[in-house]
Chains A and B, each alone.
Chain A
């Protein structure tokens, strides 16, 4: 059963703590992405990675960090430097064509992070 898994589904954090959100895909996709969604708003890109051991900042990377040590995994760490981390976090992946273009993104079920 191919897909994207995210864990945990709900996460509670105290202020000042770092937390890591997991994202795994078994679709053999080259690219992976992290988005943040705030209530009533669209998705904003945090980080993305098109290849193992390489990643790029998105539009709102401050206060976040990522790693891409394996093709199937792209964990996101929300650091204490992120001022307002309470949000819904979505991970996505996409395949690459022979012409080096990227196809549509498929999304995981999301992690809802709440800072107490």
Chain B
């Protein structure tokens, strides 16, 4: 069975600090997809990134970057120069190729608080 673990329940940083959110996953599939979502206080989940299991290239998008390492089954998310608007709950999720990538399994989320 697939599983996603986000060991950090809460993280608190001061504005402009860099912060890394950890995500470790378990799956028996060789084809799978990894995601990060942001949930601001309003409640709606905002899609941030999707990664395929066969593409281990790291990605950078503005202040956001993702480090995908199959050897350690990790897909970590770093926010550089954090801002107050980054305060939210961040979820890592996994879907397996055997379900055509349709069923998501979510981690329990990391509550990030960025203080001014």
A18-60: CB near B (< 8 Å → 1, else 0) gives 0000000000000101000000111111001010000000100
B70 interfacial by beta-carbon distance below 8 Å? no
A113 interfacial by beta-carbon distance below 8 Å? no
Taken together as a complex, chains A and B put the C-alpha atoms of A95 and B50 apart, in Å, by: 14
Q: Which residue of B43, B47, B103, B109 is within 8 Å of A41 (Cβ)?
A: B109
* Residues of B20-70 whose CB lies within 8 A of A: 35, 37, 42-47, 50
Q: Is the CB of A42 within 8 A of B91?
A: yes
* Residues of A83-116 whose CB lies within 8 A of B: 88, 90, 92, 94, 96, 100-110, 112
The interface size of chain A toward B, counting residues with CB under 8 Å, comes to 28
Q: Nearest chain-B residue to A99 (Cβ)?
A: B100
Taken together as a complex, chains A and B put the C-alpha atoms of A45 and B100 apart, in Å, by: 16
Query: How near does chain A come to B95, taking the closest CB pair, in angstroms?
Result: 8
Provided the pairs A103-B50, A105-B47 are in contact, do residues A42 and B109 lie with their beta carbons within 8 angstroms? yes
Neighbouring A residues of B4 by C-beta, 8 Å: 42
Taken together as a complex, chains A and B put the C-alpha atoms of A31 and B46 apart, in Å, by: 18
20 A/B residue pairs, CB under 8 Å, sorted by A: A33-B104, A40-B108, A40-B109, A43-B45, A44-B106, A45-B104, A50-B100, A58-B103, A90-B43, A90-B45, A94-B102, A96-B100, A100-B100, A101-B97, A101-B101, A104-B50, A109-B42, A109-B44, A110-B44, A112-B43
Chain A: residues with CB nearer than 8 A to chain B? 31, 33, 40-45, 48, 50, 58, 88, 90, 92, 94, 96, 100-110, 112
